[in-house]
Amino acid sequence: MTRTPQILRWGHQALEVEIGVTEDGAARLTHAGLPGRTAPARRSWPAPALVEVTAAGHGRAWSGGHLVDTSLGGRLRYRAHQVTRDGGWHVFTVELHDPETGPAAEVTYRSPDGIPVLRGEVTLRNDGETTLHLESVSSLVVGCLAGGPQALDDADLLWAENDWLAECRWQRQPMRLTTPAHGGRVSRTNRRAGFALNGQGTWSSCGRLPMGGLTDRRTGRTWVWQIEHNGGGWHWECGARDETAYAALFGPTDTHHGWRHPLEPGAEFRTVPIALALGDGHGDGGQDEAFAALTRYRRVQRRPHADHQRLPVIFNDYMNCLMGDPTTEKLLPHIDAAAEAGAEYFVIDAGWYDGDNGGWWDSVGAWEPAASRFPGKRGIHEVLDRIRERGMVPGLWLEPEVIGVRSPMAESLPDEAFFRRDGARVTEAGRHHLDLRHPAARAHLDQVVDRLVGEWGVGYLKLDHNIDPGSGTSAHPGETPGTGLLGHNRAHLAWLDGILDRYPHLVVENCSSGGMRWDHALLSRMQLQSTSDQQNLHLYAPIAASAPTAVTPEQGAVWAYPQPEDSLDEVTFTMANALLGRIHLSGRIPELEPEARALVHEAVAVYKTIRADLPHAVPSWPLGLPAWDDPWIALALRTPAATYLTAWRRPGGDATATLRLPQLRDSAAGVDLLYPSAGRAVSAWMPETAELSLTLPTAPSAVLLRITPTAPGAP
């Protein structure tokens, strides 16, 4: 059928989206940006399609390492669209169908009012008469990020390396390194490759964050995306079609994760959601604007919880403290010291359930306290009661998805409750992995939570995850491991929703060997994210400063772990690491000298004076996103009334740095030193350039400043 080409426009005051539909009904996302900057009308648009799909017998029209230019995606034709509202969200639904083989796609775009973020997901339905064996389905395809050779020349790719102890390390490289110009005598401009990243296994962020971006180094215009999936089955690629940059984002795929899904006639498959944030530029501010938009989006999209506004101070006994060896005798002095420092929660970390003096790794699963660690008539309840007596809420560490091979639960739960491949239980590092699709697995964990929270009165659970059991589980005949893993991931989210429905006061922390499962699917439910297991206070600074790229400041838990052998500057440095996030106080506080302990108490007191502002602040980086070895690092959180700025100086650089705060240009401003009050920082504000000159005479050292505009031009 031939029709007149049309453009479907949708959006709100902060974002406008255009879908181009050609004469034959092919649909493309042709423009996404600020209202009033629409793309020129045209009769055809470059690939890729609005939805890209591969399935057995249905591959790609242009072979290579990418997952665009698919035969099924190319056959999908526009059928209808609908514009609706869902509370504060604008919703745009586009219906597509393949008249040849029967599949139909419902593409749903959502955007929160006033925030330049596009959230996309796809529901694929088989309206045909035979089973369609899916191998990949895109969640979001955007083919309009940069158009023309000059735009590609100016484009930089963004991504974040994310290793254990070295999380959230953002990288930037020219797009032309992976998408070079082909020259003038090229008959086909489509390419066989581009830049692509994958996540694999049960750790969604092991190796790289499930995020990425594209920025124009000339104008500053930036797109940043996140894949909202709590497992490692994700893939994104960024390349060029007809000299136009595209990004295609997926959950698990057959090529990368062994994922295949039989879609029977009448059945549906829903992809994992993707969010895409825009920073419009204005010089060098586009990258910060994109992360600010993503921060606002994360807040409106997540599950509401009182913790996000109260931001209580948490003491956890693990890092640079008891390190998995808690006992009544060791805990009591730390409980008293934590209370004196101003902590409001006290969390007993790993090891509380096993009496083997450090051999708890492969015995986890029953979650009963070890009598040898907590002797006496009341056992662990003596410790929990002391925490409450000192005015704090008790918390416990759990690793719910694993059962140690020595745990009694390894025998009492059926084989079907565990990850299996080829009929055998998966065993990794002395542990089995629960499959939360199975009712016995969920019932076991529900009973544990009901006992700890409902009966013992625990108000905080740190949920850890320290193994990667590989590609997934094959629980049913013909099920691929990648399909089983996706099913478990979704059951895991449903289980979290269930415990928070039962215990709405409960605070739940997301931890996975530090930041190995750092994704918005989990953070849309859980109140905190452990940012790292890094024990070196100097190396924690770039992690803490970069954390707001991947989590809202009020959810980013940063260790502050002073040691008796630390200098006073180092005590200040480790406390400053956490002041623009969530304080996870630890370390050997009872052993500190009075001056060092006073610095800890002062930091907590200062934090309590600013924490009400943090849930409403958006981040920026006055020295750019930090590199791992940068001698100077800076993070700013800005609110309508003030900008809070933490600056770190590490050995190897000059004593003075110039920090850029373009949102305060032409504003007179007062600069207050909040922490440490006796610090020797020297600062000078230059309103005409919106720059702050800051001198820290020693290294290492760190300060928390408040910059308050005193004239028009405030943000």
Determine what percent of the chain is predicted with pLDDT higher than 70: 95
Q: Does residue 43 register a pLDDT over 50? A: no
pLDDT of residue 715: 42
Residue 37 predicted with pLDDT over 80 = no
In 473-578, at which residue ranges do the beta strands (DSSP E only) sit?
507-510, 528-530, 556-560
Per the CB < 8 A criterion, the answer to whether 661 and 690 are in contact is yes
pLDDT digits (tens, 9 = 90+) for 684-696: 999 999 999 999 9
**CA-CA distance, 415 to 434, in Å (whole number)?**
9
- Tell me the pLDDT of the chain averaged across its residues: 94
Least confident of 36-40, 402-406, 448-452, 651-655: 36-40
Per-residue model confidence as pLDDT tens digits over 669-684: 999 999 999 999 999 9
By mean pLDDT, which of 57-61, 84-88, 385-389, 644-648 is the weakest?
57-61
**For the segment 153-176, what is each residue's pLDDT rounded down to a tens digit?**
999 999 999 999 999 999 999 999
pLDDT tens for 327-351 read: 999 999 999 999 999 999 999 999 9
Could you tell me which of 688, 686, 705 has the C-alpha nearest to residue 696?
705
**Torsions phi, psi of 506, nearest 5?**
-65, 135
Q: For residue 241, what pLDDT is reported?
A: 86
The predicted model gives 312-320 an average pLDDT of: 98
Would you say residue 618 has pLDDT above 60?
yes
pLDDT at position 714 over 50: no
Contacts for 704 with CB less than 8 Å, ≥ 6 apart: 576, 579, 580, 606, 644, 645, 646, 673, 674, 675
SS3 breakdown of the chain: % helix, strand, coil, rounded to 5? 25, 35, 40
Quickly list DSSP for 88-101.
TEEEEEEEEE-TTT
Of 58-72, 332-346, 462-476, the least confident: 58-72
Q: How many CA atoms lie within 13 A of 310 on its CB side?
A: 13
Q: In whole angstroms, what is the distance from residue 115 CA to residue 294 CA?
A: 8
From 497, 499, 486, select the one nearest 448 (Cα to Cα).
499
Q: What pLDDT, on the 0 to 100 scale, is given for residue 394? A: 99
Which pLDDT does position 459 carry in this prediction? 98
Whether the predicted pLDDT of 464 surpasses 80 = yes
pLDDT band (50, 70, 90) for residue 46: low
Could you tell me if 403 and 379 are in contact, meaning their C-beta atoms sit under 8 angstroms apart?
A: no
pLDDT exceeding 90 applies to what percent of the chain? 89
What is the band of 285 on the pLDDT scale with cuts at 50, 70, 90?
confident
Res 282 pLDDT > 70:
no
Q: Please tell me the predicted confidence (pLDDT) of residue 387.
A: 99
Domain annotation for the chain: domains and CATH numbers: 6-301 (2.70.98.60), 307-530 (3.20.20.70)
Which contiguous run of DSSP H or E holds residue 605? helix 594-610
41 pLDDT higher than 70: no
Region class of 577: left (phi > 0), else alpha (psi between -120 and 50), else beta:
alpha
- Indicate the DSSP class of residue 451: I
Task: Output the pLDDT for position 321.
Answer: 98
* pLDDT at 221 (0 to 100): 94
> For residue 184, what pLDDT band results from cuts at 50, 70 and 90?
low
pLDDT band at 711 (very low <50, low <70, confident <90, very high): low
Q: What is the pLDDT of residues 358-383, one digit of tens each?
A: 578 999 999 999 999 999 999 999 99
Contact 610, 674 (CB under 8 A): yes
Least confident of 191-205, 402-416, 459-473: 191-205
pLDDT beyond 50 at 617: yes
pLDDT band at 39 (very low <50, low <70, confident <90, very high): low
pLDDT, tens digit (0-9, with 9 covering 90-100), for 110-158: 999 999 999 999 999 999 999 999 999 999 999 888 888 899 999 999 9
| 611-620 average pLDDT score | 98
pLDDT score of 424 more than 70: yes
* Mean pLDDT, range 209-231, rounded to an integer: 96
Beta strands in 175-220 (DSSP E): 195-199, 207-208, 211-216
Q: Are strands 15-21 and 103-112 parallel, antiparallel or unpaired?
A: unpaired
**Triad 425, 428, 433: Cα angle to 5°:** 55
